[in-house]
Chains A and B, each alone.
Chain A
Amino acid sequence: MKISSLGKIFCGVVLLCAVGAVFGAERFPPPEFDSGYQQPTMVNPGARSNVLEYVDVAVLVAVMSLTCFLVYKKRSRKGIFWLMLGSILYFGFWREGCICSIGAIGNVVLSVFDTNYAIPLAGLLFFVLPLVFTLFFGRAFCAAACPLGAIQDIVLLKPVALPVWLAGTLRLFAYAYLAIAVLMAATGSAFVICRYDPFIAIFRLGGNVNMVVVGGCMLLIAVFVGRPYCRFLCPYGVILRQLSRVSRKRVTITPDECIKCRLCEDACPFGAINRPTAEWAEGDYRVNKKRLGVNILLLPVLVVVFGFAGYLLSGGASRAHVTVRLADRIYAEESGEVDDTTDASVAFRGTGMTIAELYGNAAKVQKQFVFGSILAGALVGLAAGVKLIRSSIQWKRSEYEADRAGCFSCGRCFKYCPIENVRLKKLSEQC
C-alpha cells in the first residue's frame, strides 16, 4: 500500500468522522405528567478551585520552558512532538480547551473596557506569559503549548506548499479576526474567539453541530496545509508574530554556519524558511525604491479607507450586541414588521423598562461600535498597507534562515540540515 492511498483513506475517514461527530448533545424534556418521580433540584457545578488554575499556569510555564530547552538546546523534533501530544491531552482533552491564551484576548480586552469585569489572575497569566516567552525565545507557545496548534501540527501528513503570496494574503484574515474579536469583546458583545474556536467541539467530544463540522473541516485541511488556523486565522498569532520579530533568541535551521546545500529549502510545511537572496540589477533597485515610496504614501490612505469601511459596517456589526438585537426586535414589533413576539421581547416588556430607554441604550452601543469599527477597519488597512510595503522591500539574506515571525519552532527542519546530522553523529564530517 502506498502512503498516498493511505492518505486518501485517512481523508475519507476524517470526512466521515466529521459526519459522525455531528451527533451533538441532546436533551430530553422531563415528563409532562405526575409520575411520582422527584425531579432533582438543579445544581450548578462549583467553580474550579484556584489552586488548579495555578496548576494550569505552572503546566503552561513548564511546557514552554521545556519547548525552549528542546528547540534551542536539544534541537529535538521528537521531544517537541511528544510535548505537543501532552499539551493536546492536558490543555485539550483534559482541560477541554479552556482556559486558553487565544481566548484570553477577549477577557483581557473586556477587563480594560468594562470596569465591572475583572479577569482572573490565571487568565491574565495565560495571556501574558506566552507573550513574555515569545519576546525572549520566539514562538515557544505555538510550538508545543497551544493545543490548537498542536492538534493541527500532528495531523499534518502530506503538506502542500502554498505560494508565498497566497499565504501572505490569507494572513490578512487573522488581522481582521483580531480586529473583530477585540471590537466584540470591548463592546461586551461576545467572546468570538471562544465561541468560534474550531477545535473545542473535538476536545469536548461534542457540542454545537456547526462547530463540530468546522473543526472537522479545519483538521482535514490541516492534513495538507500546515496549521491553517495558526497561520491564517489565529488572532493571538498576530500578536506573537510581531513580538517574535524582535525576540532575543530565534530558531536556526543549522547549528553552525549555513553551507547553502539547499536540503532544507522545502523542509518547512509552514513556508517559514527564507531563502538567500540574489543580487538585483541596479535599475531594479531604483524601480523598487520608487514603488516603496508610493506604498509608504499609500499606507495612511489605506488606513483611512479601511477605517471608513469599518464605519460603514458598524451598523450591521452592532447587531452582535444583545441590546441592539433586542432593540431591533422591539422596533420590528412596534413598527408592525413582525406579528409575533420572542421570549426576549416578552421578557423585556416585563422588566418595566421603557422602549425609549432601550433605544437609548442601543444608541449608546451603536456609538461605541462606530468608534470601534473605525479603529478595527484602520487596523486591517494598516496590516494590508504594511504588507504592501514589505513586499516592496528588497530583503538581503545570505543563508537559509527560519522566518522570525512565521516560524513555529516545530523543529522539523533540523534533520534536513547535514551540519545537524554531523552534530548528531548521523553523518561523518567527510560525507
Chain B
Amino acid sequence: MDRKSETTETDRVGVYYKAMAVTAVIAGFVAAVLVVGLTVNYIQGKVVEPSLTEQLAGLKLIVKEQPDNASVVEHMRQLDLELRRITFRRLDRTRRGSLGLLISLAIVFFSMKFAWNVAVKLPCPTGDAELPETQKKRALFARRSVTAAMLIASVWVIFIFVGEGVDYSEVLEDEGAQAGGSVVEGPKYPTDEEIKANWASFRGPGGLGIAVGEYLTEFDVKAGTGVLWKTAVPINGMSSPVVWGDRVFLTGADEQQRQVYCYDAAKGDMLWVGDMSNVPGRGDEEVEVMEDTGFAAPTAVTDGKHVCVIFANGDIGCFDYAGKRLWAKNLGVPDSIYGFSASLAMYQDRVIVQYDQGGSDENRSKLISMNISTGSIVWQFVRPVANSWPSPTVINIDGTDTILTCSDPYAIAYEAGSGKEIWRAECIEGDIASTPIYAGGFVFAIEPYSHIAAIRTDGTGDVTETHIAWKGEDEVPDVCSPISDGNVVITLTTEGVLICYSVADGGMLWEHEIDGFFNASPVIAGDKMYLIEGEGKMIVATFDDGYKEVAVSEIGEVCLASPAFVDGRIYIRSKENLYCIGE
C-alpha cells in the first residue's frame, strides 16, 4: 500500500467515523427531546388528571345526593368526557413517544457501534504469557469467592427466611386435638324440632316472636304469685334471655367488663359467669355507644351445647355449657352511631353475625357465618348497607333456609348455607332497628316513622319494583319488631300505638293506643299477644277481633328487653333482675 492510498483510507475511515458520530449525536438529541416530552406527559398524568379525578369524584357524590339535579349531572358528564379525552390523548402520546424513543435509541446505538467498529484498534499484547503463579492465584480466588458466596447465602437463609410461615399440618393437628378434647359431643347441630321447642335466639324460633304452648296471663310480683323465681343480674344490658332446656343465658356489659350469665331454668340459680376479657385481636380503640343501647344490646344464641355472645366492641365468643370459653375473637370495633345491637342468629352449626357499620357506600358492613364450635369463618360477604340495629333471622321460606336482614337501604334475603344473596328490595332508609319477620308469604320490613313494607318472597335479584305487595304508613315503629299470626301483622310504636294490618292486602284492621312506652318487641302465644311496657308492666291482649285487653301485671322495674317464652314459662329481663313467670 503506497502512502497516498494509505492517506485516502485514513480519510475515508475518518469521514465514516464522523458521519456515524454525528448521526449518533442527532439521534441522541432527538431521544433526549422525546424523554423530556414523555416526562412532561407523565407529570401531566400525575398532576392534572388527579385534580380532575378529584373534582369528578366530588361531583359524583353530589349527584348521588341530588340525582335529579340536571345541571350537576350534565357538568359531571362533561368533566368525565374531558378527563377521558385528556387521559387517552396522553396515553396515545406515551405510546408514540415510546416508539420514537426506541427507534432513536436504536439509531444512536447502531451509529455508535459502527463508529466504534471503525475506530477500534486490534489488540497489542504486551508482557509475558500467563505464569503458573497467575493461574494458581486465579484458582485460589475462585475457591475463596465460592466459599464467601456460600457463607453469605447461609447467613441470608438463617436471618431472613428461617421459620417463615404457618405450618398447616401443625394447625390441623392442634385443631383436631382441640376438637377431640372438647366437652362438646354428639350431633353437629340441633334439629328444627329442638329449635322450635326452645328459645335459642332473639325473638325465638325464626325470630318471629311466636311462642309455643300456654302461658300465664297474670302474675303478682309483690305477692309472689306466678313468679317462679327472680335472680339478680350482675351487669345490666339490653339483651334478651335465650333458653335451651334447663339453661337460661343472658349477657351484661359495661365499659370495662363483658360477661355471659348462665342460670338454672328451674330454680334461677346462677350456674356460671363467662368472662369475655382479653379477647385476641382487640385493640385499644374506644367504643362509644348511646346509653339507650349500652354495651350488651345483642342477644346471645345457643344450640344446646354452646352459647355464643357478641358485644358492642366487636368481641365475639363462645362458651360450652360448663362455662368454658371455647373461642373468642374481635371483629373490629363496629362503626355504629348508636352502638352495635344486632343479635346473633344460628343456622345449623354456624352462628350468623350481621355486622353492619359505616355508610352504605363504604363497603364495611358484612354478613358473617362462623363455625359455632371453632369460631372459624365459614363465609363472609360485604353488604352494601349502612350501620343498623335490627337482628338477622333464619327461617325456611319455600324450602330454602333463608337469612333475612334489614338495613338502610335494603331488605336482603340470603341463602343460609352459602350466604348467596337471593333477593333484595330497596325499600327502607334511615336508622333501621326493627327486626324483619316472615309471615303469610311476605317478609315485613320497617322503615322507622315511615312505613312497613310487605315483600313477596318468590323473587330473585332486585325485587324493589316487582315484589313489594303493599306498604302500611300508619304510626310506624322505630324500635319494636312486628308480630304476625299469618293473617294479621301488628306493629307497636315506642309510644304505645298498636296498628293491625291484614297480611293479605295491608288494609288496617284496627288501631289501639296504650299508655306507656315500649322497647321490647311483642310476642304471640296462642290467640294472645304479650307486651312488655318499659316502666315494668306485662300487658296481655287478644287481637283477632280488635284489641281486647286480657290482663295487666306489674313488674315494678324498668323492662326494655324482649322476653323469652318456653315451655309455659316467661323469662323477663328487667334492669336489675331476671324473672321467671309460670306455674
A residues lining the B interface (CB < 8 Å): 1, 3, 6-7, 9-10, 13-14, 16-17, 19-21, 23, 26, 28, 31-33, 35, 154-155, 157, 163-166, 168-169, 172, 205-206, 260, 262-263, 265-267, 275-281, 284, 302, 305-306, 309, 312-313, 315-319, 324, 327-328, 330-331, 333-337, 339-341, 346, 349-350, 352, 354-356, 359-360, 362-363, 366-367, 380, 384, 387-388, 391-392, 416
Contact = CB atoms under 8 A, between A and B. Distances in A.
Contacts of A33: 63, 73, 76-77, 80
A92 B101 CA distance: 17
A387 B139 CA distance: 10
Contacts of A14: 105
B378 A354 contact: yes
Contacts of A3: 112, 115-116, 119
B88 A28 contact: yes
Contacts of A392: 139, 143
B542 interface: no
Contacts of A164: 138, 141-142
Contacts of A336: 280-282, 329-330
B98 A356 contact: no
A352 B371 CA distance: 12
B98 A206 contact: yes
B47 to A, nearest CB: 14
B77 A35 contact: yes
Interface string B115-138: 110010011010001111001101
A315 B163 contact: yes
B425 interface: no
Nearest to A164: B138
Contacts of A276: 129-130
Contacts of A327: 166, 168
Contacts of A260: 129
Contacts of A349: 369, 377-381, 419
Interface stretch (B37-45, B228-236, B461-469, B490-498): B37-45
28 contacts: A3-B116, A9-B24, A10-B28, A20-B34, A157-B116, A165-B141, A172-B146, A205-B95, A263-B122, A266-B125, A280-B132, A305-B154, A312-B157, A312-B162, A313-B162, A315-B167, A319-B164, A341-B380, A346-B382, A349-B377, A356-B376, A359-B175, A362-B168, A363-B171, A366-B169, A387-B142, A388-B146, A416-B123
Contacts of A318: 165
B184 interface: no
Contact of A328 (B91, B97, B150, B166): B166
Listed residue (A35, A360, A363) with the most chain B CB atoms within 10 angstroms of its CB: A363
Given A10-B24, A277-B130, 6 more contacts: A6-B115, A265-B125, A309-B153, A328-B165, A354-B376, A363-B168
A331 B145 contact: no
A17 B376 contact: no
Contacts of B77: 31, 33, 35
Contacts of B381: 346, 349-350
Contacts of B70: none
A20 B165 contact: no
Contacts of B143: 388, 391-392
Contacts of B366: 341
A363 B146 contact: no
- Label chain B's interface by main secondary structure: helix
A331 B174 CA distance: 13
Contacts of A339: 281, 330-332
A368 B219 CA distance: 70
Contacts of B172: 356, 359-360, 363
B38 A315 contact: no
Contacts of B223: none
A349 B366 CA distance: 12
A16 B35 contact: yes
B509 to A, nearest CB: 43
Contacts of B141: 163-165
Contacts of B131: 278
A23 B168 contact: no
A275 B142 contact: no
A21 B98 contact: yes
B21 interface: yes
B281 A337 contact: yes
A6 B35 contact: no
A392 B418 CA distance: 66
A341 B13 CA distance: 69
B541 interface: no
B109 A155 contact: yes
A28 B281 contact: no
Contacts of A281: 132
A390 B169 CA distance: 42
B142 A391 contact: yes
Given A6-B24, A168-B146, A309-B153, A363 B380 contact: no
Contact of B161 (A155, A205, A316, A355): A316
Nearest to B31: A13
B34 A266 contact: no
A295 to B, nearest CB: 8
A363 B173 CA distance: 11
B207 to A, nearest CB: 24
A154 B142 CA distance: 29
B116 A312 contact: no
Contact of B135 (A13, A16, A277): A277
A168 B112 contact: no
Contacts of B267: none
Contacts of A9: 24-25, 28, 108
A313 B161 contact: yes
Contacts of B329: 334-336
A149 to B, nearest CB: 17
A1 B465 CA distance: 79
A32 B98 contact: no
B349 to A, nearest CB: 11
A17 B146 CA distance: 35
A199 B164 CA distance: 31
B471 interface: no
A252 B136 CA distance: 26
Interface string B63-99: 1000000000100110010001001100100110111
Interface in B399-424: 417-420
B157 A309 contact: yes
B403 to A, nearest CB: 14
Contact of A26 (B28, B91, B418): B91
Given A17-B31, A35-B77, A366 B21 contact: no
B471 to A, nearest CB: 27
Contact of A10 (B80, B97, B108, B150): B108
A46 B142 CA distance: 52
A50 B513 CA distance: 81
A388 B279 CA distance: 56
Contacts of A157: 109, 112-113, 116
